[in-house]
Structure 1
């Protein structure tokens, strides 16, 4: 939403302090509180025209919703959002969308880690195929031993298990709210 106009009023120092206290109690800024009050006053007065739509009637990227959180919950929200390298509002939006649509979202950092793992497994697979082709042609292998091949297989299995665990933990974390939930 682009804000282009300013509404202001002069009030006493006491009124300003009470207004600031009210905003702090709701854990929002004074500007947000003032905007909510103006929206409420204009909406309850029944003022409707083509250029003045309620937020729920606007078209575009999304609509803004406000929620009051317990201070402890707000701290947890900030921690969880930071652990996923997201802003708190983005985290809430993704979490709610995932819940409403029964999705298990992958934050960008986790998605990139999975893509990297898949790319690494692909490279290992291509290299193993080359080794197998050479061995099938009877080419003597120097520099690579049976133990080396077994180690590569172990790494592949470990990466596969890690990727599966990451997906399980991600799905559980969105349901339970904890990134460190056990699979």
Structure 2
């Protein structure tokens, strides 16, 4: 248990104090609690928890019941719907993302990533066919359709951009800092 008996005092302008109090209130903290957290973070003693990973012996699930004010529950339902998830699944994913400090991929995102993976596989097969054609004994003159080859970098770049977009949206959606 820590001993919190020391006091730090400083003087700032009234305008700065008012702004600091607004910031503290927006984080549901008292000004002194926000100041304490800022000082501890600055000196490297912040009280943040380390991200946890799954432990094989504790991989099972446990039921948890929570009570929320009606306005909070309405907000939870809206956010879950926006992710295409059931309310309980969304709350579970939210807790998981904050405890593990990693985003939880939704079913929609998995489907998008699978589609992109299929597209990249098709591009790879096309490249293999081109290589086989170039190396085959029937290809005496070395001709190949360069139009098809010129489309490959664009297709690959589009697929990579789609993957980056999904990953960025997932990380931002769960509030995980990259």
Asked if TM exceeds 0.5, the reply is yes
TM-score, scaled relative to structure 2: 0.56
Match of residue 165 from structure 1: 165
**Unmatched tracts of structure 2, length 5 or more:** 1-59
Query: Pairwise CA RMSD of aligned residues?
Result: 2.6
**Structure 1 residues 75 and 150 mapped into 2: Cα distance closer, same or farther (>3 Å)?**
farther
Greater alpha carbon shift after TM alignment, 74-83 vs 160-169: 74-83
| SS of match in other structure, 2:174 | helix
| SS of match in other structure, 1:63 | coil
Match of residue 82 from structure 1: 81
Which string of whole-angstrom CA distances, capped at 9 and with x for unpartnered residues, describes residues 101-143 of structure 1?
A: 212110112112202211221121111121123124472688x
Match of residue 63 from structure 2: 63
Match of residue 151 from structure 1: 151
Which string of whole-angstrom CA distances, capped at 9 and with x for unpartnered residues, describes residues 74-100 of structure 1?
A: 333222211222111210111111101
Match of residue 121 from structure 1: 120
**Structure 1 residues 97 and 147 mapped into 2: Cα distance closer, same or farther (>3 Å)?**
same
**Structure 1 residues 153 and 69 mapped into 2: Cα distance closer, same or farther (>3 Å)?**
farther
Native 8 Å contact 2:116 2:162 kept in 1: no
Aligned residue pairs: how many? Answer: 116
| SS of match in other structure, 1:106 | coil
- Which protein has greater RCO, CA pairs closer than 8 Å, 6+ apart? 2
**Unmatched tracts of structure 1, length 5 or more:** 1-59, 177-182
Question: Aligned equivalents of 1:83 and 1:129: distance in 2?
Answer: 41
Which string of whole-angstrom CA distances, capped at 9 and with x for unpartnered residues, describes residues 30-88 of structure 1?
A: xxxxxxxxxxxxxxxxxxxxxxxxxxxxxx741222132461x4333222211222111
TM-score, scaled relative to structure 1: 0.54
How far 1:170 moved relative to its partner? 0.4
Mapping 1:34-49, distance limit 5 Å: none
Match of residue 9 from structure 2: none
User: Once superposed, which parts of structure 1, at least 4 consecutive aligned residues long, lie more than 6 Å away?
Assistant: none
